[in-house]
């Protein structure tokens, strides 16, 4: 951390915001050049955001519970108990801007102009260009996993995909951003939650990147068998999992090419129900082999989890990890009230076949 940044770690007035932003970005760009990937950049941004006080959470407090299928111990689902996560619904930051500053896009929490005054200068991001488009990496103040980054488009534009709304995101753009970034952040989990499939800010395009948990790095979905012979067009299909999920594995460019073509055909074959569909995409890159993996779980907007609203089920849950936030739920986790089938039911409630 250079000296100038260190002097500015306390919340500042937004008029200094651009200067401090530039200093931080220069510093992070130097880190990126040294490291050759985004991991060191994200960690440095995380550290900086703890120092400014924007992130107060101590990630170590999250406990994790694993539930095995009683007849088949190779199958499991798990829960993280993350009480601070409940606070996110209240939001943080101020709601009324200082005089002479106006609210843009209804106070959208992913627009930089709003963030500057809402978080009183404490929240800063990292500018990135991906395939010719501009994005900002922000730290999530209520992390689901270590070093939880939200990468949002610099411009205020919808999270919705093209299949539901004209002007929505092309699938190729979602995949390019997600898989390209994943290749630059090996060892991270990246996910895009569609609108109605876990996206908490549907008005502004964003994807999540998180480190894996140290104690249990692989997620249930990553450990299930994938059958690459049932589908001849390059996708694998997961077996013995409560959700229908298509998988691609290979080099970054191969994965992007085959998945984009496959999803275009998928959309054609799903025309009658397409407007009611949404999706979760998950991307990872193996740090040892540089191989990319991409997962696609189709979702139906009106297919809800009967214990709550479907919006709460996003990429993490699709990977087989559920987030519990209230104390009573911890008693259930420890007292044998929750088991494999409790969790499986959440996924079967939102299950939809690849072809309807
Ligand atoms: Zn916005």
What value does the mean pLDDT take over residues 275-284?
97
pLDDT in tens, 262-273: 999 999 999 999
**Dihedral sign computed on CA atoms, order 99, 103, 104, 109:** positive
pLDDT in tens, 344-355: 999 999 999 999
Q: How far apart are alpha carbons 316 and 170 in whole angstroms?
A: 23
Comparing 99 with 86, the larger pLDDT belongs to: 99
- pTM value > 0.85: yes
Contact predicate 82/89, CB 8 Å? no
**Which residues have C-beta under 5 Å from ligand 1, the single-atom ion?**
105, 108, 110-111, 156, 204
Kindly give the distance from the C-alpha atom of residue 104 to the centroid of ligand 1, in angstroms, as a whole number: 8
Q: Which of these, 92, 98, 132, 129, lies nearest to 113 by C-alpha position?
A: 98
What value does the mean pLDDT take over residues 118-128?
95
Kindly give the distance from the C-alpha atom of residue 134 to the centroid of ligand 1, in angstroms, as a whole number: 13
At 2, list the tokens: 């250079």
pLDDT in tens, 3-58: 444 444 444 456 699 999 999 999 999 999 999 999 999 999 999 999 998 987 66
Kindly give the distance from the C-alpha atom of residue 226 to the centroid of ligand 1, in angstroms, as a whole number: 37
Kindly give the distance from the C-alpha atom of residue 31 to the centroid of ligand 1, in angstroms, as a whole number: 28
Residue 53 pairs in a beta bridge with none
Kindly give the distance from the C-alpha atom of residue 191 to the centroid of ligand 1, in angstroms, as a whole number: 19
Query: Domains in the chain, please, with CATH?
Result: 62-350 (3.30.428.70)
Kindly give the distance from the C-alpha atom of residue 343 to the centroid of ligand 1, in angstroms, as a whole number: 34
Q: What burial letters (b/e) apply to 164-185, b meaning 16+ CB within 10 Å? A: beeebbebbbbbbbbbbbbbbb
What value does the mean pLDDT take over residues 155-166?
97
User: What confidence score (pLDDT) does residue 1 get?
Assistant: 42
User: What confidence score (pLDDT) does residue 9 get?
Assistant: 46
Q: How confident is the model at residue 325 (pLDDT cuts 50, 70, 90)?
A: confident
User: What confidence score (pLDDT) does residue 61 get?
Assistant: 66
* Candidate from 48-57, 155-164, 178-187, 238-247 with smallest mean pLDDT: 48-57
User: What confidence score (pLDDT) does residue 241 get?
Assistant: 96
User: What confidence score (pLDDT) does residue 263 get?
Assistant: 98
Is a pLDDT exceeding 50 seen at residue 133?
Answer: yes
């Amino acid at each position: 951390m250079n000296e100038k940044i260190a002097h500015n770690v306390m919340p500042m007035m937004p008029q200094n915001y651009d200067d401090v932003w530039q200093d931080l970005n220069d510093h992070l760009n130097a880190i990126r050049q040294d490291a050759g990937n985004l991991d060191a950049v994200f960690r440095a941004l995380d550290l900086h955001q703890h120092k400014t006080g924007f992130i107060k959470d101590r990630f170590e407090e999250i406990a994790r519970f694993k539930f095995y299928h009683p007849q088949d111990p190779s199958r499991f689902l798990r829960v993280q108990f993350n009480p601070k996560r409940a606070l996110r619904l209240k939001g943080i930051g101020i709601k009324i801007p200082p005089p002479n500053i106006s609210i843009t896009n209804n106070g959208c929490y992913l627009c930089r102009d709003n963030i500057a005054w809402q978080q009183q200068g404490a929240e800063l991001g990292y500018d990135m260009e991906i395939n010719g488009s501009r994005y900002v990496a922000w730290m999530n103040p209520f992390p689901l996993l270590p070093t939880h980054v939200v990468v949002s488009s610099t411009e205020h534009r919808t999270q919705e995909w093209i299949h539901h709304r004209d002007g929505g995101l092309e699938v190729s753009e979602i995949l390019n951003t997600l898989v390209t970034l994943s290749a630059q952040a090996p060892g991270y989990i990246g996910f895009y939650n569609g609108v109605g499939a876990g996206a908490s800010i549907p008005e502004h395009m964003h994807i999540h990147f998180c480190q894996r948990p140290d104690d249990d790095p692989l997620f249930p979905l990553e450990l299930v068998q994938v059958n690459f012979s049932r589908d001849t067009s390059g996708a694998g299909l997961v077996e013995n999992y409560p959700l229908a999920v298509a998988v691609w594995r290979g080099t970054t460019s191969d994965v992007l090419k085959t998945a984009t073509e496959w999803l275009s055909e998928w959309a054609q074959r799903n025309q009658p129900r397409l407007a009611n569909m949404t999706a979760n995409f998950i991307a990872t890159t193996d740090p040892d082999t540089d191989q990319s993996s991409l997962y696609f779980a189709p979702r139906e907007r009106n297919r809800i989890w009967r214990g709550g609203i479907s919006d709460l089920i996003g990429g993490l849950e699709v990977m087989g990890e559920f987030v519990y936030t209230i104390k009573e739920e911890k008693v259930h986790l420890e007292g044998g009230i929750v088991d494999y089938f409790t969790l499986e039911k959440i996924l079967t409630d939102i299950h939809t076949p690849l072809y309807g």
